[in-house]
Structure 1
Amino acid sequence: MAGARQEARAESATADREIVISRVIDAPRELVFEAFTEVRHLSRWWGPEGFTTTTRSFEFREGGEWVFVLHGPDGTDYSEWIRWVRIAPPERIELLHGESRDDPNAFESVLAFTPDGAATRIVMRTVFPTKEQRDEAVEKYHAVEGGQQTLSNLAAYVTDLAREGAEG
């Protein structure tokens, strides 16, 4: 019980710095989780609508990194970097995400994968270093819509994979 109270206090302490996005995906948890573990999957769905991804390097392990470029629909390239902080297959991934390894504005994200019948509920909780950085991400970069679109792309991708697996 004390753990739940501490967790609730920790969440309220970061509420003004966080974005939480969730979605139920019609695919098994293991498959949804796998979509994060292999670059061949990530490059097919990562990013908001109209964006594509080019991976420079990828190592999915605790302490490993994913260095990539997001290509916007307007031709703008965004350098991105992720370090996988903690991986607990198939239920949780913790990561640090910024523009580069030494980005002082890098933010933390926790992805939780929970069975929901035959489907999977994914909850993406992102905590920014400051409220101002969170607000800028929401207002200038449309982080909420972008996150929802990214999870929508993931849902479409793994739903197709699940269907192909059932047919194959």
Structure 2
Amino acid sequence: MSATGRGAPARSATADREIVISRVIDAPREVVFEAFTEVRHLSRWWGPEGFTTTTRSFEFSVGGVWDFVMRGPDGTDYTEWITWTEIEPPERIALLHGESSADPNAFDSVLTFEPDGAATRIEMRTVFPTKELRDEVVEKYHAIEGGRQTLNNLAAYVAEIVGKG
């Protein structure tokens, strides 16, 4: 156990390697969870503004894989690979995300879906292998803004499917 001093907030052991993004989405968490776990939904909203997602294979189960390509607005293709490491419907998903199963720079993400009145607060907590890798994706790939845009796209998509958009 670490001592944090009087009144000092506890600091996560991974704080310098993580990105945390959250958003409230105006829909029940079961709907938000479904939009995040079914390929027919994911390909409609996944990624930052201007990106498209093409799924090559998808199995939503612990140990299952989502293999996909994101195409950027400039036409650049980004090969992506996710394996699901924990699934607790409709509360939590943990995953490992990289370019492939052999990617030494793959990172862990945990998504939580918490009720917030009639809405849902989704939090995406991503931990990178090193601080340097975290800093690189923030600076080179604008990961924080990209994550915010992705959750905004999810919110807009969910509003559309529940008839509020």
Q: TM-score range by the shorter chain?
A: over 0.9
Corresponding position of 2:80: 80
% identical equivalent positions: 78
Corresponding position of 1:31: 31
Structure 1: which amino acid aligns with 2:96? L
Decide which structure has greater helix share.
1
Corresponding position of 1:57: 57
Partner SS for 1:12? coil
- Structure 1, unmatched stretches of 5+, are 3-7
Alpha-carbon separation, structure 2, partners of 1:110 and 1:15: 14
TM-score normalised per structure 1 = 0.91
1:86 Cα offset (Å): 0.2
Cα deviation per residue 1:43-66 (whole Å; 9 max; x = unaligned)?
000000000000000000000000
RMSD: 1.6
1:149 maps onto 2:149 in alignment: yes
1:81 Cα offset (Å): 0.0
1:152 Cα offset (Å): 0.1
Partner SS for 1:163? coil
Following superposition of structure 1 onto structure 2, how do residues 1-168 of structure 1 map, counting pairs within 5 Å? 12-163=12-163
1:141 Cα offset (Å): 0.4
Alpha-carbon separation, structure 1, partners of 2:114 and 2:159: 16
Partner SS for 2:137? helix
Aligned length: 158
Corresponding position of 1:5: none
